[in-house]
Amino acid sequence: MITVTLRISLVCPPRPRRTPEPGAPPRQSRLLAVLATVGLLLSGYASADGEPAAPAPRRANWVGTWAAVPTATPATNTPALDNQTIRQVIHTSVAGSELRLRLTNEFGTQALTIGEVHVARRSGGAGTDIVAATDRTATFGGTRSPTIPAGAPLVSDPVRLPVPARSDLVVSIYVPTPTRVTTLHAFASTSNVIAAGNVADDASVTGTTVGQWFFLSTVSVRADRDADAVVALGDSITNGAGTAADTNHRWPDRLANRLRDKGMLNLGVAGNRLLHDPNPPPGSNAQNFAVFFGESALRRFDRDVAAQPGVRYVIVLLGVNDLGHPGTVAPPSETVTAEEIIGAHRQLITRAHADGLTIYGATILPFKDDTLGFYNEVNEAKRQAVNRWIRTSGEYDAVIDFDRVTRDPTDPLKLSPAYDSGDHLHPNDAGNAAMAAAIPARLFH
């Protein structure tokens, strides 16, 4: 935009009258011409030769419609593909006229060779069947068969496929050569299929069902109107543990149903902590799965929050694993204080505000008598201290009180029986619905 400052003096010194040159336009006409030229400059539409120039093109409004947290894989539990296609179902939030896929090899130690990538709308019913007429090939810098460097993501070229809000897409990735799947999201609560050969564009396939997302971390859309995204930064409660598979009953999904013009990005990952990366005790069974818990929230914030397309709001629900993991699936030496958990929350607030984001804090849910061994009186005292700070400090832009919504009225230290999935820590479908319903929609306007 061109900024022009026009100063007009209201008090002018007397000037001698001058006879206009023959053929010169009247003084009033000259003034109008000057003002017209200034108007063109102010509007930004005047070209160098004085002709009106075309208006600047509107910037594409890319916003995330789906996301998942990529993690590393344990040496004892790393899947492999060889001349196979992984077909993956994802549930969108906001609509768009085009889409982009973000693939990831961020935890790979070798380059990842992809044979072909297709995306299509999922057909009705269960499974990974697609509507054949909607099938599109994704390219990456113009190539259909990209190579993703070790430790890096790769974003596709725009794919011309209209994407309805709250609909299902199927992303099919063909891997032609023996490949260890070193980057994935382990707990998808969604049934995906590994099929033999290159069947990326087949309408229907059969194969082995897996509950993981391979090599896929974000789907963004070009929104038809101005839109922005909400990131749910959390652990297994946000990720959907305790909800029925293939139903999209996680609390972020339920919230997305209410916020119809917002992208909803579920960046929850089971077992995630604020302050520590996974660190299973040597020789423990946790070595077979702890790496799936993902990097600490402080470490992954830039990738999973700040870098998301169109992000404007963040909801943080974290802290229960910082309390419960030490002494169970992490060393006792990683025991943290309430003050350390609060300090981590403060750091998330500082970093969100530095990026111009609005950030909301959610209280830690009750977990007395949980089956995972998290509860004791010391951990409960820390939970109460953290929740008290979230509620009263005023440091978050607003508070979402999940503790108050989900606790048992007869014993506030316990999860309500109506919302208990069975382990006394993770809410069931009804609990997730209650959590989403308790979030005021006005927070996102």
Please work out, in degrees rounded to the nearest 5, the angle formed at the alpha carbon of residue 20 by the alpha carbons of 16 and 24: 145
Residues in the chain: 445
Closest CA to 148 of 113, 179, 183, 102: 113
Cα–Cα distance for residue pair 432/189, rounded to 1 Å: 14
Closest CA to 129 of 101, 168, 161: 168
Cα–Cα distance for residue pair 103/20, rounded to 1 Å: 72
pLDDT of residue 59: 58
Q: By the 8 A CB rule, do 155 and 146 touch?
A: no
Q: What parts of the chain have a pLDDT lower than 50?
A: 1-53, 55-58
- State phi, psi for 213 to the nearest 5 degrees: -110, 125
pTM: 0.87
pLDDT of residue 38: 34
* First-to-final CA distance of the chain: 28
Which two structure tokens, joined as six digits, stand for 357?
A: 């984001």
In eight-state DSSP terms, residue 310 is: T
Closest CA to 88 of 202, 233, 188, 203: 188
Chain position carrying tokens 């960046």: 267
Which two structure tokens, joined as six digits, stand for 439?
A: 């979030």
Cα–Cα distance for residue pair 80/369, rounded to 1 Å: 38
At residue 431, the 3 state secondary structure works out as helix
Beta partners for residue 241, in sequence order: none
In eight-state DSSP terms, residue 85 is: E
pLDDT of residue 51: 45
pLDDT of residue 8: 30
pLDDT of residue 60: 65
Q: By the 8 A CB rule, do 277 and 299 touch?
A: yes
At residue 7, the 3 state secondary structure works out as coil
At residue 83, the 3 state secondary structure works out as coil
Q: By the 8 A CB rule, do 190 and 239 touch?
A: no
What percent of the chain has a predicted confidence (pLDDT) above 90? 84
Closest CA to 318 of 268, 359, 367, 368: 268
Closest CA to 443 of 363, 387, 360: 360
User: SS3 string of 332-349?
Assistant: HHHCCCHHHHHHHHHHHH
